[in-house]
A and B are shown apart, each in its own frame.
Chain A
Amino acid sequence: MAIIRNTTVLTNLQTELSNAIANGLNTATIVNILNGALGAGEQIGQTAFNTITEGVYKKFGVGDQVLNRTEIVTTGIWSGDTGSLTVNATYTSSAQIANISGKYYIDVYNALTSSDSAEVQFSIAYGDYNGYGAPTIGQDDSSTRPTKATYSQYKNLLLSPTDEYFSVYSGPATSSAATTTHNLTSFYAINVNRARYKERLDPGNISITLAGTSGSITLIDDSGGTDENVTTSGRIYNLVSGSLNIGSALTASIKNVTSRNGEGYGLFYPDMGIILLNPNALASIVDIKLAPANSSMTGVYHNISLSGSTYSANSGSVMLLNTLAGGADFQVRRTENVSTAHYFIRANNREFNFSNNPTFVTGSAGQFTWPVFESNPKVFITTVGLYNDANELLAVAKTSKPIEKSFDKEVAIKVKLDF
């Protein structure tokens, strides 16, 4: 509450009140005089004097709108906003794999593709700097060299023009001794579907468990242990073995930064929704069939392991899918910046107590259906509409149940609008 002692303001108010006796009160003038003496945050809105106006619309008062707020919203990325996906190696599309796109990537679904609920969750691709893992043009005139094209595609997308290779940790397993100097000449790319990750993946909340014949490993990103490395493709983190320690007070713990062969596990690009995995690192600790292709052969594609592949069928990307299914836990969250506005709907006891609902009235003269409403009308709010000055309905909100409104009750509803 502000106490006004400003003599100029008090004199002006006295004059206006005197004029009001003869000519009526101009509330706008009174408000302007008062606001001249009030500080920021204390000023009165013009509508403060006009809140009880007959009609169907009510203007928002000063302070009834909280606009331009940004909230960071995190949710699970998989279908149904779940954070954990139990990968199943059979949740792929044979038609997609048989198609030309199958030589580049494999789409992985959340259910059998025959199911109505099946949606692509992520794709697995294999890229090779040398083009190994796919026929050369010399071996097959119609070869589109998909592994070479994939490597180049991700290189152009994620690396600066001066970089030729992706670099991962190299050296001992402890982070203090390891350096990021090992160049990846091949990788498996897990590309999260755009509709799933929306704005970006959430660093510090990714956990991929792989299990194969050699063992299992859980990969997390090292965002909790290192400063952010931001490049033209956004933030980059190294994948390391460890645990998120979800459900405990502990922060994520890193076990090893390199695999048994002394190479890092891969890279994580949260802003691009891309995870790159080092085939050699995974082959040394999870399954030998995850090893990179080391040659080009006619009719052999490392991405889909056609018969005659270097490591027979079920190697390459298919093997990565199998080890993901073996690990049975792929946890990722997404995060979005959501612009939010809050509107405070205040209906005081004298407002909005009658309805244009056809069941509220009877006859042609607008009489109430129930005579008791003549002395004590009651209405039930189910919908809030937000309008501009042209009375255009721009946003609408529904209450979870009808809210009673009468001359005995006031209602305050906070409407949250995200966009």
Chain B
Amino acid sequence: MGYLSNTELTVDAILTKKGREKLAAGGGLNITQFALADDEIDYNLYEPAHPLGSAYYDKAIISMPVLEASPDETQVMKYKLVTLPKDSKSIPVVSISQPSINATTKVTGPITISPNTSGGSNAQGGYTAILSNKNAGTLQGEGVTSDVGSVPVFIGDDVSATAATAKGTTFKFFPANNLTSNLTTTLTIYGNQTGGSITIPVTITYVV
């Protein structure tokens, strides 16, 4: 008679910087949901042609020791697991029509950004757009109610100090007119439900 395997694991969590900040502010943590991630896993190590058979397909992955958690919320939970129907043939991919944004300081009208998600939907949660350098312009989000969470995991205090964020199903970008030199940054759009993202370069050219 063998031993039963214990399927419930117990792990110790640590507070992130954001969590400590919430506690210090006295508001409590108010944890309401969770997500799972497979940071560190390289699926190229999966070997369906392993000579020892199916029990060894994932041997290289599950034998790997896992690093300790980092309290920096910008460095963990990068690659989230996602729930999709069983017959899914691909992972939802967030895309936008513009491969890049190029504007000059003379441009006054907004540039509309309409993200799409193929193979999934972010219609309810919308998207979160992060302009890495908020000096590049103003970002406005439209189409998502305010009660939907908007801050993705990747944004931390350091980033938020210099970045502009917006939430919506579509976005309007107003390039800055007060620049005195060219500015290059990035715009990243995250699917708040599917977790996928896309990053494009943004260049604002100074025109006299």
Contact = CB atoms under 8 A, between A and B. Distances in A.
Interface of A: 52-60, 65, 341, 343, 345, 347, 350-361, 364-370, 372, 374, 377-405, 407, 410-419
Contact of A357 (B7, B30, B43): B43
A354 B118 CA distance: 15
B207 interface: no
Contact of B38 (A53, A351, A379, A389): A379
Given A381-B81, A383-B39, A401 B66 contact: yes
Contacts of B33: 57-60, 386-389
A380 B58 contact: yes
B28 to A, nearest CB: 9
Q: Do most interface residues of chain B lie in helix, strand or loop, or is the interface mixed?
A: loop
Nearest to B156: A393
Given A60-B34, A386-B34, A393-B76, A380 B91 contact: no
A383 B38 contact: yes
Contacts of B90: 361, 365-368
Contact of B40 (A352, A382, A414): A382
B181 to A, nearest CB: 34
A394 B92 contact: no
Contact of A396 (B42, B44, B69): B69
Given A53-B83, A391-B150, A343 B34 contact: yes
B77 interface: yes
Nearest to B192: A391
B76 A396 contact: yes
Contacts of A411: 7, 9
A341 B120 CA distance: 34
Contact of B151 (A390, A403, A413): A390
Given A55-B83, A56-B194, A380-B58, 6 more contacts: A54-B83, A352-B83, A366-B196, A369-B46, A382-B40, A391-B153
Contact of A415 (B13, B30, B43): B13
Q: Which of A55, A343, A352 has the most CB of B within 10 A?
A: A55
B31 A388 contact: yes
B159 interface: no
B185 interface: no
Interface in B28-80: 29-44, 46, 48, 58, 61-71, 73, 76-77, 79-80
B101 interface: no
Contact of B77 (A352, A390, A396, A402): A396
Contacts of A370: 43, 46, 48
A361 B36 CA distance: 17
Contact of A388 (B7, B30, B48, B80): B30
A393 B18 contact: yes
A372 B37 CA distance: 21
B11 A386 contact: no
A384 B65 contact: no
A357 B48 CA distance: 18
Contacts of A360: 38, 43, 79, 91
Contact of B79 (A355, A366, A402, A403): A355
A343 B13 CA distance: 10
9 closest pairs, A vs B, by CB? A391-B149, A394-B19, A397-B13, A366-B90, A56-B195, A357-B79, A366-B91, A352-B81, A55-B193
Given A385-B37, A394-B15, A416-B10, A355 B31 contact: no
